[in-house]
Amino acid sequence: MADQPTAAERFIQGILPENPVFRQILGLCPTLAVTNGLKAAITMSAAVMFVLFCANVMISLIRNLLKPHLRIVIFTLTIATFVTIADRFLAAYVYQMSKVLGPYIPLIIVNCIIICRCEVCASKQGVVAAGADAIGQSLGFCLALSSIAIVREILGTGKIFDIRVLPAVWPDWVIMVLPPGAFLTFGLLLGLVNWYSARSQQTAGGK
Amino acid sequence: MLSYLIDIFLIGVSAAIINNFVLYYFVGICPFVGVSRKISTAFGMGCAVIFVIAIAAVLSWTITAYILMPGAPLSAYVAGMFMPAEAAAGIDLTILSYIVYIFAIASSVQFVEMYVRKFFPPLYKALGVYLPLITTNCAILFACLVIMSKITGVDNPADAWDLGRALTLAVGGGIGFTIAIVIMAGIREELNLCDVPKPFQGVAIALITAGILSLGFMGFTGVDSGLRKAMMPKPEVVAQAQPATEAGK
Amino acid sequence: MKPIQQMEPLSPTAFERLRNNNIIQAWLVLILTLFFGSSLAGVQMTLGPKIEENKLNETLEKIPELILGAEGAQKLAESGGKLDVTPLSFVVDKPGKKAVYNVYEALDKDKKRLGWVVKTGGQGYADRIELLLGVDPEVKTVSGIFVLEQKETPGLGNKIVTDEWRGQFKGKNTEKSLGVVKGGKAGAGDINAITGATISSRSVTDIVNTAVADLKGPLTAKAEGGK
């Protein structure tokens, strides 16, 4: 088999170069849905990190026993179980936040990021690499969600975590915390990321 | 009967247009952005999704109402063979809901895939790998979750949704998804002829378009409460003449 | 994702081997199912009670404030006292259906009835509104409302959760239905609508009026009979 990326490489790649949201364009549903507040975005990223880490480690442990045509069933079963555990945990310990996040926590089951990482990394590499990959990708996911949430929350309500950031004369752009604001913010930030990466590729290629 | 039909109509209209699954609830975005390049493929995908979501909704309603919910008939019956009747009546299998739903969805997708392969071969070829990927379409799982919350999350058992309402929500949601994806495909076909700046080509401009579409659909907010007020018989706000009974705890 | 691989056509002798293989191949799925099933059962047993408690507390912790008002609730909390709350359920016959109301009866430590808290809801502007309504023991005045769930427009209809708008309901007489007026000139039997959110304001007032009308009879009957 060709040289596989090491654990450290997996970790670094997940944060910016192979960012799941901005570069791989995966997991768009929670990205748009829970980013109207920074607190909700961070809670969702924490839940995804838990599920991704546990699923990756578990799949990596049994990777040698997986049969090709049953592997999707096993991935789905594993992910659904860990999502149920995460959902119950949130409902028990941060009940208000779990009500805000509502149906988007169980939707982590069909989040393409997790199935994709299980398929690409966990079923092929050891536990350490799989774990590092999970943490790297989750950090990238958290970064993406937080960047969108910060823009939406500041422009939409002038506050972050209930601390007033913009002066009181700012007329709250309420549209930013509503659905259209989600699409627009994400589209504009994606354009920005594309422009930046094209530029750095140009300067790297031009040298 | 009439109020039931009005209720069903409002649920369907609300799911399809007013609280559109894609543009309001943000579910089903991945195929919305991925498959919306040509109108014919988009419409085919939309129809496949309606088919899958209908089957999945029926399956999940039946399983939730009869097996999973607290005190469900079938589970209580089976548990009654091992436990005293009182403990059996309180059996609650909702912890297994997510696993059951995702496997119900996977089976529905498998079934629809066989059907499409047999009766619509060109569509099957056009959709390619996106057909099995309907399993990871958030819209279907979202419909199942809404149905679950309307069965297990209501305080008053008489308000729990029956199969008709569940099916209407699912089909309405599927129709809303189809409407959104076909509109998006039409716009993207036009965008292909425009001079889009390089960083925005592809997904970014599609998202910005979706934002403007969502803005347009926001104009429908409040239509369902207005319709409901207009269609429902006027409630009597005067005190009732009949004595009301007090139900025990 | 890798495309699903096609299976080659089998010779008859290989059929037996394959059949065995299918059952053997499924062993991993079966073991995982058992393992996950038992861990989920464990999670349900440990966290289930806590979640139920959370759901109940959501309503119960609002009751002192609704019955006694904010200062009264604070005094009660400081003195370490608690209200004795009994959940009850009332069925009201309305044209077309039966409405079931969850009502909490609040008694103080001397078993004197301090008031009722009704959990009710209805259609708002955007989606359903759920709220708690506090009334005095004779259902003659409203002692307060608290909005549990709403999805109204942020910045406009959202304001129904603010203390100052909700506070209008305190002390309102229930003899006649409450009305909603725009322009800030509400009299004693009316509520001021939120500027730009008349429908949300009307929805909340309608929910309150309906609940009061439905439950006035049953609650006063229970108050007189139960004493």
**Structural domain count, chain A:** 1
- What pLDDT, on the 0 to 100 scale, is given for residue B234? 58
Of A99-103, A131-135, B36-40, B92-96, the range with the highest mean pLDDT is: A131-135
Chains that touch B (3 or more CB pairs under 8 A): A, C
Composition of chain A by helix, strand, coil, percent to 5:
75, 0, 20
Question: Which chains share 3+ C-beta pairs under 8 angstroms with C?
Answer: A, B
> What is the structure's pLDDT at B62?
92
pLDDT exceeds cutoff 70 at A50: yes
Would A1 be classed as within a structural domain? no
> Does any domain span residue A23?
yes
Inter-chain touch A88–C44, beta carbons under 8 Å = yes
Count residue pairs from B and C with Cβ separation < 8 A: 89
Amino acid A41: pLDDT: 92
Q: Mutating which of C5, C23, C43 best tests the A interface, going by the most A Cβ atoms within 10 A?
A: C43
Residue C41 lies in a domain: no
Among B240, B244, B231, CA closest to B7: B231
B206–A contact, CB cutoff 8 A = yes
- C-alpha C177/C-alpha C172 separation (Å) is 10
Look at residues A120, A103, A81, A139 and name the one whose alpha carbon lies nearest to residue A30: A103
Q: pLDDT tens across C121-136, in order?
A: 888 887 788 888 888 8
pLDDT in tens, C17-45: 665 566 666 788 888 889 999 999 999 88
Query: Which of C92, C158, C180 to mutate to test binding with chain B, by most B CBs within 10 Å of its CB?
Result: C92
pLDDT of residue C16: 63
pLDDT at A68 > cutoff 80? no
Instruction: For residue C15, name the pLDDT band (cuts at 50, 70, 90).
Output: low
- The span from the CA of B228 to the CA of C214, in Å, is 20
Q: Is residue A2 part of a domain?
A: no
Q: Identify whether C6 is part of a domain.
A: no
CB nearest to C51's CB, from A68, A81, A92: A92
- Does position B118 have pLDDT exceeding 80, yes or no? yes
Alpha carbon C3 to chain centroid distance? 47
pLDDT of residue A1: 42
Domain membership of residue C47 (yes or no) is no
Beta strands in C95-213 (DSSP E): 97-107, 113-123, 128-135, 142-149, 179-181, 190-192
In a domain? residue A46: yes
Q: Say if the Cβ atoms of A95 and C155 lie within 8 Å.
A: no
Give the model's pLDDT for residue C22: 67
Using the predicted structure, report yes or no on whether residue B243 has a pLDDT greater than 50: no
The model's pLDDT over C50-103, given as tens digits with 9 standing for 90+, comes to: 988 888 888 888 888 888 777 777 887 778 777 778 888 888 877 767 778 888
- Mean pLDDT on B123-133: 83
Query: Does a structural domain hold residue C89?
Result: yes
Tally the domains of chain C.
1
**Average model confidence (pLDDT) across chain A:** 86
How confident is the model at residue B101, as a pLDDT? 93
Minimal CA separation from B219 to chain C, in Å: 11
Mean pLDDT in residue range C185-209:
85
Q: Which domain, by its residues, includes C77? A: 58-226
To the nearest whole number, what is the mean pLDDT of chain B?
85
- What confidence score (pLDDT) does residue B170 get? 95
Cβ contact C47–A91 (<8 Å): yes
Q: Is residue C210 a part of any domain in this protein?
A: yes
pTM of the model: 0.87
At residue C40, what is the residue type?
L
Q: Do B142 and A103 touch (CB under 8 A)?
A: yes
Residue pLDDT, tens place only, B180-205: 999 999 999 998 888 888 888 888 99
Is A159 part of any domain? yes
Where in the sequence is the domain holding A78, given as residue range(s)? Answer: 7-206
Query: Mean pLDDT throughout B215-232?
Result: 83
What's the pLDDT band for B173 if we cut at 50, 70, 90? Answer: very high
Residue B242 has what pLDDT? 42
pLDDT tens sequence across A80-132:
999 999 999 999 999 888 888 888 999 999 888 898 888 888 888 888 889 99
Cβ of A92 and C5 within 8 Å? no
- Residues of chain C in contact with residue B243, where contact means CB-CB under 8 angstroms, are 217-218, 221
